[in-house]
């Protein structure tokens, strides 16, 4: 695999940036280090800041850049979990690596050369955030030193262009202050977390799969929105959400006859949509266009029908507004596909 080859080459590169030596084992405290703009080698990515923090169960690594992140960029983070430069491989026991837009990154034990865990990765326009359980690094307490390196791909080689810190290692700190003893939201007034802070991804979910998967930034205790679904995925998601909501609605939300009628209409729309996609893949432009036009008209008719049922008191306002909103979103997604 290309990623594996890049990982090996990144390991061989070690901490070398344009021939520089390994960083001095002295450690920078504070959990965050800034890096000068313009010190990257060549046209490679340029680090602006690097942060490391931990909770009682997870480690979070944030790399922010002056330059845009892209599919040809990679980041390598070396971890000295025992904070002893005389142990491990050149002082490091573990390494985390991600390339391009991979959703997950491997955590590698540098002593055994075995993958010991998986990190989730969240990308921004100029940032990369990696998170993984402390069990992936031998159940460490998260108090460790780290070094971040970034580079661009050239064939099967990752050319390291910048690192942070430049001449030392960065010591981790507790995310948001003292480390909580549990990953669930505390219920007592003795918590050290700010009111409303998140401590896990599950607290950031809004229940809407079409919005993408939200994640919790453990350092700030705030939720990061996921990337909304696009194109076909968004269209199908909106239709599934409408069908699920109608099926789950009780008698106080929609009359039984209206519920059956709406379910039949939504399922017919889904069938037309799938048919249009299949025709598109088969290269049948005429059938694709006919079914796509039919889907668009059916979505518009669904909105009208819901309005009629609402005026007659056969569906409540909340459910009606949800169906109308999602039907319009599905119509927008369909239009964007140009079928």
Residue-wise pLDDT for 49-99, tens only, equals: 999 999 999 999 999 999 999 888 999 999 999 999 899 998 999 999 888
Residues 56 and 41: beta-carbon distance below 8 Å: no
Contact yes or no for 26/36 (Cβ under 8 A): no
Lowest model confidence (mean pLDDT) among 131-135, 192-196, 236-240, 334-338: 192-196
Compute the mean pLDDT over every residue in the chain, rounded to the nearest whole number: 82
What's the rounded Cα separation, in Å, for the pair 38 and 50?
Answer: 16
17-31, 51-65, 224-238: least confidently modelled range: 17-31
DSSP 51-117: EEEE-SSEEEEEEEESS---TTEEEEEEEETT--TTSSBTTBSEEEEEETT-SEEEEEETTTTEEEE
CATH 2.60.40.10 fits 2-174, yes or no: yes
Query: Is-above-0.75 flag for pTM?
Result: no
- Dihedral sign for Cα 170, 175, 178, 180, please: negative
Q: How many residues does the chain have?
A: 339
90 touches 15 (CB < 8 A): yes
CATH 1.20.1440 segments of the chain: 231-337
Check whether domain 231-337 has CATH 1.20.1440, yes or no: yes
């Amino acid at each position: 695999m290309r990623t594996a080859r890049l990982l090996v080459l990144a390991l061989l590169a070690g901490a070398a940036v344009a021939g520089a030596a390994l960083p001095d084992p002295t450690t920078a405290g504070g959990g965050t280090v800034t890096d000068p703009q313009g010190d990257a080698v060549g046209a490679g990515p340029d680090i602006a800041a690097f942060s490391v923090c931990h909770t009682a169960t997870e480690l979070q690594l944030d790399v922010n850049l002056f330059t845009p992140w892209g599919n040809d960029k990679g980041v390598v983070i070396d971890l000295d979990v025992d904070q002893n430069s005389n142990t491990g491989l050149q002082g490091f026991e573990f390494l985390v690596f991600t390339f391009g837009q991979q959703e997950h990154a491997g955590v590698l034990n540098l002593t055994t050369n075995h993958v010991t865990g998986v990190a989730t990765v969240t990308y921004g326009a100029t940032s990369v955030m990696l998170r993984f359980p402390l069990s992936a690094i031998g159940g460490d307490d998260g108090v460790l030193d780290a070094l971040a390196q970034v580079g661009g791909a050239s064939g099967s080689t990752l050319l390291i262009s910048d690192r942070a810190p430049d001449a030392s290692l960065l010591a981790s700190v507790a995310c948001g202050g003292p480390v909580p003893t549990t990953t669930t939201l505390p219920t007592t007034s003795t918590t050290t977390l700010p009111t409303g802070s998140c401590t896990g991804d599950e607290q950031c979910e809004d229940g809407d799969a079409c919005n993408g998967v939200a994640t919790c930034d453990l350092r700030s205790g705030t939720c990061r929105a996921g990337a909304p679904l696009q194109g076909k995925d968004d269209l199908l998601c909106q239709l599934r959400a409408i069908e699920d909501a109608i099926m789950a609605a009780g008698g106080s939300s929609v009359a039984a006859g209206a519920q059956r009628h709406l379910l039949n209409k939504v399922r017919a729309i889904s069938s037309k949509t799938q048919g249009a996609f299949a025709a598109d893949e088969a290269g049948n432009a005429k059938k694709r266009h006919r079914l796509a036009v039919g889907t668009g008209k059916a979505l518009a008719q669904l909105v009208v029908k819901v309005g009629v049922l609402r005026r007659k008191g056969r569906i409540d306002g909340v459910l009606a507004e949800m169906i109308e909103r999602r039907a319009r979103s599905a119509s927008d997604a369909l239009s964007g596909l140009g079928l």
